[in-house]
Amino acid sequence: MRCVHCGNEIADETRDHVFPASWYPSTTPPEIQWWTVPSCRKCNGSFGKMERELFIRLAMCMDPRRGEAAGLSARAVRSMGIGAEGISLRERLHRRALKLKILGSMWRYKPGTETLPGFGPHPGFPEHEQMAVSIPAKLLEQVARKIVRGCEYRLAEQRLVEAPYQVRVYFVHQGNVPANVVQAFQSRGARTTHLGPGFRVTRVPAHDEPGSVMYEIVVWGTLVIYGAILPEEAQPGEHGGERD
């Protein structure tokens, strides 16, 4: 058995959740399958730390009134140690440090602030009373690539993404998505999987390049991850699977 993320043989296998367990909203039906993939302990631990921080930052930006995000904001607050009970002193100190780190990266929202596609001020509330939190690009990209690798393993007969193929991820405002990409996800070759209200995964294989794939992954009905698995020399948009 090999690790989905680093490709190394696994001596001590763990199971990594493709979508972190803490990311599933409380409205997730009990029959929904929570995808997992084989991972080495090192990768699982490393991504677990990244996912936890990214979750708090993203969840704090979600409108708690959305059904797809039910329970996330309260969970994010507990992850920072606020209202958390029955945890060790070491864990309390860790959560406090994480809270200070995240709170230190927040500021009062101002009109014109650049926002992550899909996010922005919550309607129905005065903009000047809302807060913004920074989303580190590297953190977001690493977790997004990890999710794409996991989806490909689950949907493509346990495929590992290996050279010359690599995963690229993009975050684009919906009005700026290239026309050929939109057509690809509307083609007959597109296959969509719903993992409860929290996640929607659409996969499109390229017709002219075996092994090349495009993904549209919607998280909480808000964050859209566009992923591409392409040979190193290929550029996004060259292989879209747009032909029916």
Together in a domain, 72 and 161: no
Residue 236 within any structural domain of the chain: no
Residues 6+ apart with CB under 8 A from 30: none
Together in a domain, 129 and 143: no
Residue-wise pLDDT tens digits, 34-93: 999 999 999 999 999 999 999 999 999 998 888 899 999 999 999 999 988 889 999 999
Given 104, 133, 162, the domain boundary residue is 133
CA distance 30 to 187: 31
Residue 181: give the domain boundaries: 137-231
Report the percentage of the chain scoring pLDDT > 70. 95
Together in a domain, 149 and 74: no
Residue 84 within any structural domain of the chain: yes
Given 81, 103, 133, the domain boundary residue is 133
> Whole-model pTM?
0.91
Tokens of 112: 């014109």
Report the percentage of the chain scoring pLDDT > 90. 80
Q: Where does the pLDDT of residue 188 fall: very low under 50, low under 70, confident under 90, or very high at 90 and above?
A: confident
Together in a domain, 80 and 100: yes
Q: Where does the pLDDT of residue 220 fall: very low under 50, low under 70, confident under 90, or very high at 90 and above?
A: very high
By CB neighbour count within 10 A (0-12 exposed, 13-18 middle, 19+ buried), where does 150 fall?
A: buried
Together in a domain, 149 and 127: no
Contact 55, 34 (CB under 8 A): no
Q: Where does the pLDDT of residue 243 fall: very low under 50, low under 70, confident under 90, or very high at 90 and above?
A: very low
Residue 23 within any structural domain of the chain: yes
Together in a domain, 63 and 159: no
Together in a domain, 115 and 26: yes
Average pLDDT over residues 1-26: 94
Residue 56 within any structural domain of the chain: yes
Structurally, the chain folds into a number of domains equal to 2
pLDDT confidence of residue 128: 85
Contact 229, 212 (CB under 8 A): yes
Given 133, 149, 180, the domain boundary residue is 133
Together in a domain, 220 and 198: yes
Together in a domain, 160 and 211: yes
Residue-wise pLDDT tens digits, 190-217: 999 999 999 999 999 987 788 999 999 9
